[in-house]
Chains A and B, each alone.
Chain A
Amino acid sequence: DVKVTQSSRYLVKRTGEKVFLECVQDMDHENMFWYRQDPGLGLRLIYFSYDVKMKEKGDIPEGYSVSREKKERFSLILESASTNQTSMYLCASSLQGHYNSPLHFGNGTRLTVT
């Protein structure tokens, strides 16, 4: 079974802090994704990556950046956290070249910015 692990389940940070959310997958998937989930808004794509050192903006990239130095790890960075970034963050991975392959999700990181 594919395992997508997000390093923190809950995180509380202060406004203006730099925040790192880490995600690791163990199935050699090329594609990795970061979503945020908010009540009534569903999942919205922040950034994704199809290969090491490669990144693409999703629908809501403002205020975020990402890093993919190794195939198995995809980090989401909040350069200066703000209260409107309080949310549930979900990481996912999938096989490349199989554009109908399902996403495998981690259990999420609930971030609170105070």
Chain B
Amino acid sequence: AQSVTQLDSQVPVFEEAPVELRCNYSSSVSVYLFWYVQYPNQGLQLLLKYLSGSTLVKGINGFEAEFNKSQTSFHLRKPSVHISDTAEYFCAVRGDSGYSTLTFGKGTMLLVSP
């Protein structure tokens, strides 16, 4: 079984400031890690994913995340946020067996103000 903890339910930030959204996971097997974003009144869409290889993963809209196995973390970062980044962000983990399902964190609401 696996679980995901998103430590912050809300992160307020000013436009053009850097941001980090934190995610920690636990799993007894190797994992694949994902960040999804949900804009208001929409479904979720994939931001980025870590499968293997380089621990720094780049995604859409200037976001990146770093996989840290020793700290079981997969924090999401952006060096300069825009108003349009206001959304809810979900970290998710999946085991590496064929029929493992995605487990989502509770989400972090990123609020970007001018």
User: Interface residues of B, CB < 8 Å — how many?
Assistant: 27
Cβ contact within 8 Å between B43 and A4: yes
Q: Which of A40, A41, A42, A102 meets B49, CB within 8 Å?
A: A102
The answer to the question of B78 belonging to the interface, with a C-beta cut-off of 8 Å to chain A, is no
Tell me how far the C-beta of A109 lies from the nearest C-beta in chain B, rounded to whole angstroms: 10
Contact-residue bracket for chain A: 20 to 34
Provided the pairs A100-B94, A102-B34, A102-B49 are in contact, do residues A42 and B101 lie with their beta carbons within 8 angstroms?
no
Number of A-B contacts (CB under 8 A): 54
The answer to the question of B98 belonging to the interface, with a C-beta cut-off of 8 Å to chain A, is yes
Chain B residues within an 8 Å CB radius of A105 = 43-45
The answer to the question of A86 belonging to the interface, with a C-beta cut-off of 8 Å to chain B, is no
The answer to the question of A61 belonging to the interface, with a C-beta cut-off of 8 Å to chain B, is no
Cβ contact within 8 Å between B106 and A41: yes
Cβ contact within 8 Å between A45 and B101: yes
Q: Which of A35, A43, A58, A107 meets B42, CB within 8 Å?
A: A107
Provided the pairs A42-B90, A42-B107, A43-B90 are in contact, do residues A90 and B43 lie with their beta carbons within 8 angstroms?
yes
Q: Which residue of chain A has the shortest Cβ distance to B91 in the bound complex?
A: A42
